Structure 1
Amino acid sequence: MVNAYWEHFPHQADIGVRGVGPTLAAAFEQAALAMTAVTTDLALVAPAESVEIACEAPDDELLLVDWLNGLILEMATRRMLFSRFAVTLGGHRLRATAWGEPVDVARHQPAVEIKGATYTELKVGKTETGLWFAQCVVDV
């Protein structure tokens, strides 16, 4: 069985984030990891503090955007980076815990600030091999 993973894909001046996993929740978790990896090396972010996030939307695509934008808001207001996520989905409702730590500029060396998740290249579905994927472009 293929493990969950994340990846980036190019998109003009911005960057695409994609999460893939055996479940939709795992794909959402991996998309969040991909988004953090736009900013810093995930290995440098200790999962020391937890933050709860909840959102809902009329469909899975909009839920992905709400989820990532909820994380961006937490990153900005708490001045934190996150490196671990646990997502639970029910209908089009999401409950999640994100673990991370306050930004340490010297150690994390943040490359960019993510302004928001967009509707560009927004897709949620299954791959040809039956894995779930969740993707969109983030504005940097």
Structure 2
Amino acid sequence: MPRYHFISKLFWKALRKNFEHTADIGIEIESPTLSEAFQEVSLSFSEIITGGSLPEVLTSKEVFLESNNLDSLLVDFLSYLIVLFDTDDFIAGSAKLEISKKNSFQLAGKLVGETYNQDKHGYGVEIKAISYHQLLVQEGPPAHLRVILDL
């Protein structure tokens, strides 16, 4: 059964939903802006790894990515989160991201979180890759993201 996460800022900020998909798991985000949707997808990513908890905000990582389209930008961003987890054991508990379009789409900002500790954070599943299958990025408003993660 899907879990719904309501994040309140004044009246409504975002709705996040994780859904099961065979040996994969999906993330679906609806948010007022595309930047906020990308922020929310980073939190869902962390919750999937930990089994539902978010880490404290102790250390930060700068992020800057560039892509020709929004689909690739989302896949690149989530792939970057996999690299941070696999190489630095870093999981994000908060994100401040901005997406802009010049000649290409750019994502810039900061991820704040901490080093993953299974005893402290718990364990859900390992995310191995990001799938383009059923990938959806709509700028909105409201912005809508849908992505399937290979476990």
Equivalent residue, structure 2, for 1:19: 29
- Answering whether residue 133 of structure 2 is matched by residue 138 of structure 1, we say no
Question: How many Å separate the matches in 1 of 2:146 and 2:57?
Answer: 24
Output one character per residue of 1:95-130: Cα deviation in whole Å (capped at 9) or x when no partner. Answer: 121111111111111221111221112001157xx4
One of 136, 139, 145 as aligned partner of 1:123: 136
Question: How many Å separate the matches in 2 of 1:93 and 1:12?
Answer: 32
1:5 CA displacement: 2.5
- SS of 1:46 mapped into structure 2: coil
One of 61, 84, 88 as aligned partner of 1:78: 88
- Answering whether residue 118 of structure 2 is matched by residue 88 of structure 1, we say no
Question: How many Å separate the matches in 1 of 2:53 and 2:66?
Answer: 27
The ranges of structure 1 where at least 4 consecutive aligned residues each deviate by more than 6 angstroms after the TM superposition are: none
Equivalent residue, structure 1, for 2:121: 108
Aligned positions, number: 137
Question: How many Å separate the matches in 2 of 1:32 and 1:19?
Answer: 11
Query: What residue identity is the alignment partner of 2:88?
Result: R
- Answering whether residue 65 of structure 2 is matched by residue 55 of structure 1, we say yes
Task: Give the structure with the larger strand fraction.
Answer: 2
Question: How many Å separate the matches in 1 of 2:76 and 2:109?
Answer: 12
Equivalent residue, structure 1, for 2:7: none
Output one character per residue of 1:121-140: Cα deviation in whole Å (capped at 9) or x when no partner. Answer: 2001157xx41111210111
Structure 1 segments unaligned to the other structure (5+ residues): none
Question: How many Å separate the matches in 1 of 2:131 and 2:109?
Answer: 20
The answer on whether the counterparts of 1:19 and 1:32 sit within 8 Å (CA) in structure 2 is no
The answer on whether the counterparts of 1:49 and 1:99 sit within 8 Å (CA) in structure 2 is yes
The answer on whether the counterparts of 1:52 and 1:97 sit within 8 Å (CA) in structure 2 is yes
The answer on whether the counterparts of 1:20 and 1:26 sit within 8 Å (CA) in structure 2 is no
Output one character per residue of 1:70-99: Cα deviation in whole Å (capped at 9) or x when no partner. Answer: 111111111121111111111101112111
TM-score normalised according to structure 1 size: 0.90
Question: How many Å separate the matches in 2 of 1:131 and 1:53?
Answer: 24
- SS of 2:133 mapped into structure 1: coil
